[in-house]
Structure formats: structure tokens, C-alpha cells
A and B are shown apart, each in its own frame.
Chain A
């Protein structure tokens, strides 16, 4: 399932996938795979992404 919340949060910060990837310490392809729902990140990477976007885990990764 696509992670549209992540994409929206990234767009809200006017951040490219590459910029987010560098802040989270991963490759751009990994951020792309998470947004497309092709890869389930570990909690460690989820936290790194949330910190980079100034959001909580719930806001980015919790599905209603």
C-alpha cells in the first residue's frame, strides 16, 4: 500500500526524496520504495524519517 502520508509530509516541507534520504541516511531509492509501499522500513528508519520531517510515527506511518 502506498504511503501517501509520507509523500505529503515531505512535500509540505518542500523536500525532495534525495534530501529526505540524506537526512535519514538511506538511498533515494529506499525512500521511493517506502512511498510506493514496496518496502516496510524498520522502526529505526521510521524514527529517522519522522525526525527529518518533524512529525510523529503516528502521523506518518499509522494507518487509520
Chain B
């Protein structure tokens, strides 16, 4: 029964994510200002990932290895996504005009995914093996994904509240 449930949860999550992503793509009608900002967000994400690379190379040259190759690859991915998404969210370029009608959808979905991963990550952390030989192992993925998604959910929630409540003429 537990095995069935443990399989069911990711399947349901995948269906929800695919549905949300396809719905977002179908309504991805960002205006010209938003597209411009999204381009800058990709640039910012690229520089952030390059900066992380520089830091890791520096540490490696000093003989310090703090994470496994898998964790490093995942960290690159999450850092790029976070920088890009936060940059867009702060500049009102993440939600397309049609999304502004229901901006709470994004923080809700991200928050649920984040909390579920965080719970899994904490369970794995308690079981041990997150740090081996002074290096983060791939057992920290749950925590990493959970923290990333929860952070994004909080940023999006703040923006959604601001979008809903800000007076029209005095924005920003």
C-alpha cells in the first residue's frame, strides 16, 4: 500500500505540473516590455551560473571540494532558474497579462512542490548520508529542490499580493 502511495504522489504531481506548464505555455502572451526583461533575466542567470563556476573552480584549485558532481550540476540548474525567475518576478515580467487575473496559482503550485520536497529532504537528512567525506552527496536533492521551490513560492506570493493590492497610479 505504501509503495503504491509513494508512486501515486509523484504521478499526481507530474500531472499537475504538466497541466500547469502546458496551460502557462498556451497563455504565454507576455508583452514586449516583459519579453525584453525576460531576456535580461536569462543574461543575469547566465552570469550567476558563471560566477558559481568561478567560485567552484577557485575552491577546487585550493583543494576544497564541497559537493559531488551531481549536486554541482543540479545547483547550476537551480541557481539559473531562481535568478531568472526572481528577476522576472521583481520586474513584473513573470506573469503574463492573462496570468495577472489569478497570480496566486504560481505560488500555490510552487509551494506545494517545495513543501513536499522539503519533507522528503528532511526525512533523508535524518536518515543521514547527506554529507560524506566532507562533500554534499546527491541525497541532498530533496532539500535543495524544496528550499529552491519554497523560496520561489515566497517571492511569487509577495509579488502576487502586491499585484492584487497596489493602487493603480502609484505603482513602484
**Interface size class for chain B?**
10 to 19
Interface of B is mostly: loop
In the complex, whether B100 has a CB less than 8 A from a CB of chain A is yes
Instruction: Please name the residue on chain B nearest to A41 by beta carbon.
Output: B32
Complex CA gap A22/B79 in Å reads 34
Complex-state Cα separation, A22 to B100, whole angstroms: 12
Structural contact, A42 and B168, CB atoms closer than 8 A: no
The main secondary structure of chain A at its interface with chain B is helix
Is the interface on chain A under 10, 10 to 19, 20 to 34, or 35 or more residues?
10 to 19
- With A21-B97, A33-B33, A45-B32 as given contacts, are A27 and B92 in contact (CB-CB < 8 Å)? yes
Contacts of B168 in A (CB 8 A): 16-18, 28, 32
B32 touches A27 (CB 8 A): no
Where the two chains meet, the residues of A that have a C-beta atom closer than 8 Å to any C-beta of B are: 16-18, 21-22, 25-30, 32-33, 36, 39, 41-42, 44-45
